[in-house]
Amino acid sequence: MNDNIPKSDEEWKRLLPPEQYHVTREKGTEKPFTEKLLHNKEKGMYVCADCGSELFGSETKFDSGSGWPSFWAPVSGNNVTTRVDTSHGMTREEVLCKNCGAHLGHVFNDGPKPTNLRYCINSISLKFQKEK
């Protein structure tokens, strides 16, 4: 994990590709079915695209049909955090990287067993590290 993370919005803006900045720092949403990680079935770890913190293991990934990568649980530990998001006239649980505050997506209660959770995550917020 990279602990030397930018402190200001200006730094992030300089550092990140514009689309990634829009999603992770301005809480944007990528178009569904647009990103390469959606159908990735390789074993490995999904890390934060902004800071490299480990967020989701491939063993919890499933096809939700939503068009965004979906997971039924974050990695054990405390790398993923949530908060209530009331934007766009909805009440949702926003999912964030605890280390750097990157917006990842939202979590819903209609996921598969064993958790019944569906972490609906923008793939531009993630980078995949293949298991070695």
Catalytic positions are 120
CA dihedral 66, 73, 6, 131 (to 10 degrees): -90
Scanning residues 32 to 51, which ones bind Fe ion (CB under 5 A)? 48, 50-51
Closest CA to 63 of 32, 28, 94, 93: 32
**What's the closest the beta carbon of residue 95 comes to Fe ion, in angstroms?**
11
99 touches Fe ion (CB under 5 A): yes
Pick 70 or 125: Cβ nearer Fe ion: 125
Pick 9 or 63: Cβ nearer Fe ion: 9
- Map residue 23 onto helix, strand or coil: helix
How many angstroms separate the CA atoms of 72 and 132, rounded? 23
- The site for Fe ion (CB under 5 A) is made up of 48, 50-51, 53, 97, 99-100, 102
